[in-house]
Amino acid sequence: MALRHAVLAALLDGETNGYELAKTFDVGVANFWYTQPQQLYAELTRLEKDGLISGREIVQDNRPNKRVFRVTDAGLAELDDFAAASAKPSFVRDDLLVKVQAADHVDPAVLIAQLDERATFAQAKIDLFEQLLRSMRGERTEEEFLHEGDRIGPYLTCLRGLAFERGNRDWCRNTITILRHRQAATAQR
Amino acid sequence: MALRHAVLAALLDGETNGYELAKTFDVGVANFWYTQPQQLYAELTRLEKDGLISGREIVQDNRPNKRVFRVTDAGLAELDDFAAASAKPSFVRDDLLVKVQAADHVDPAVLIAQLDERATFAQAKIDLFEQLLRSMRGERTEEEFLHEGDRIGPYLTCLRGLAFERGNRDWCRNTITILRHRQAATAQR
DNA sequence: TTCGTCATGTAATGCGTTACATGATTAA
DNA sequence: TTAATCATGTAACGCATTACATGACGAA
């Protein structure tokens, strides 16, 4: 019962179709919600049936037709209710952290490789988020934009995503350094 | 297929029962995995059936009996395989971020209240993690412990949790400041 | 002619959440 | 006597993932 709200919030930026939305959920929105395309299509169908969004078909030449959706007044009301309800604590689920938790019992080389991969991935997201932020604020400075802009929601969540990925990257790098140091110490004995 | 590994990794710290494990999953382990007690009991049963952990009953007076588990060799092997397999990208799911994404369409006062609540919660976790880290490293400095300690997995994941919660707290506070500023600007008009 | 992009789904299965259930002990 | 702690579950439902399916266009 929460994906619906994530979809509603994402649709506030204007009419879109499932395909576009799926891409958004794979990059920007993915800092706070992630899901597969299939679920989006299913959720869009449900949301439309419940009257929280309304869709219309756009006929295209040379391309498959697409269904675009926008949030209805009922949808906005639903978002209001959701915002007022107490939020569940956020949760992270991360395979990599599970592996590090078992660090003393698994092969360090394997861990280091995965941490390195994650650090690279995090850096790529950092670059992407910085670019996204620049394009959202345009000519303005961040401060100006946040004070005067009229659509700051996505900017604020993107800032959280950016900080999160920086944290990821830095932690991965630190952890690699520590594991390497221990590898060297063990090899010496 | 991933809760099993989180449970296995958590059981590396020694024999425990479901109840104790549930508490761990509510605090420390909760930085990288979260789940309800019911699922833990179910997962423990499954893991035992699959031979990855073995349990024994401890009869207690004045208390309900309990079943404690430890990881078997097969369980360790399973963890090894898991560590070697490529990790899925981590994901965050956060109601509060969904609400902030919709910031321009919902009542700022409500958002501010929730952000404030979250900042307080994050601070509480920060305090808890700092205490946990101190107790894990004992008399040693962090550097000494990470170089010489023989069980650093939980320490490393706790460091990530700490950084995460600091990020949460700081972002909440910043976001509150921005929303308040905008409220004041709007009131003036 | 092969791959990537656009575009939307169904079906089966498995994982996760909510609600419900029990029952004794100890501290306030 | 009320609430918290200890201790473990079942049952129903709903959400999420994986695999499968289709089909046309444009670029290499």
| Protein residues contacting strand C, judged by Cβ under 7 Å | A 17-20, 22-23, 37-38, 41-42, 44-45, 60, 63-67, 88; B 1-3, 34-36, 38-39, 62-64
Predicted confidence (pLDDT) per residue in B81-108, tens digit: 999 988 777 777 889 999 999 999 999 9
Put simply, the answer to whether B90 touches A168 (Cβ < 8 Å) is yes
Average pLDDT over residues B11-19: 93
Tens of pLDDT, residue by residue over B152-170, are 999 999 999 999 999 999 9
Q: What angle do CA A99, A105, A111 make, to 5 degrees?
A: 40
From B150's Cα to the closest Cα of chain A, the distance in A is 7
Q: State the nucleotide closest to A93 in CA–C1' terms.
A: C16
Give the nearest nucleotide to A34, CA to C1'. Answer: D16
Residues of chain A below pLDDT 70: 1, 28, 30, 189
Residue at shortest CA–C1' distance from C5: A63
Cα-based angle B179, A71, A143 (whole degrees, multiple of 5): 25
Can you give the distance from the CA of residue B63 to the C1' of nucleotide D1 in angstroms? 21
Q: Tell me how close the Cα of A61 comes to any Cα of chain B, in angstroms.
A: 34
What is the model's pLDDT at position B189? 66
| pLDDT at residue B133 tops 70 | yes
B26 Cβ neighbours under 8 A, 6+ residues apart: B34
A48-85 pLDDT, tens digit per residue, is 999 999 999 999 888 889 999 999 999 999 999 999 98
Share of chain B above pLDDT 70, in %: 98
- What pLDDT, on a 0 to 100 scale, did the predictor assign at position A96? 94
Number of helices and strands in chain B (H, E): 8, 4
Q: Model confidence at B27, in pLDDT bands (50, 70, 90)? A: confident
**What local confidence, expressed as pLDDT, does residue B28 receive?**
67
Confidence of residue B62 (pLDDT cuts 50, 70, 90): confident
Q: Are the beta carbons of B153 and A114 separated by less than 8 Å? A: no
Average pLDDT, stretch B28-34?
Answer: 77
Would you tell me which CATH number, out of the four given (1.10.10.10, 1.10.3720.10, 3.20.20.70, 3.40.50.300), belongs to the domain B3-84? 1.10.10.10
CATH 1.10.10.10 maps onto chain B at 3-84
C-alpha A119/C-alpha B12 separation (Å) is 26
User: Which two three-digit tokens encode residue A103?
Assistant: 């660090």
Of B48, B46, B156, B172, the C-alpha closest to A172 is B156
In chain A, the residue whose alpha carbon lies closest to the alpha carbon of B7 is: A98
A86 neighbors B114 (Cβ within 8 angstroms): yes
Instruction: State residue B119's pLDDT score.
Output: 95
What part of B 45-64 touches A (C-beta under 8 Å)?
none
Instruction: Give chain D positions with protein CB within 7 A.
Output: 6-11, 14-20, 23-26
Q: Percent of chain A beyond pLDDT 70? A: 98
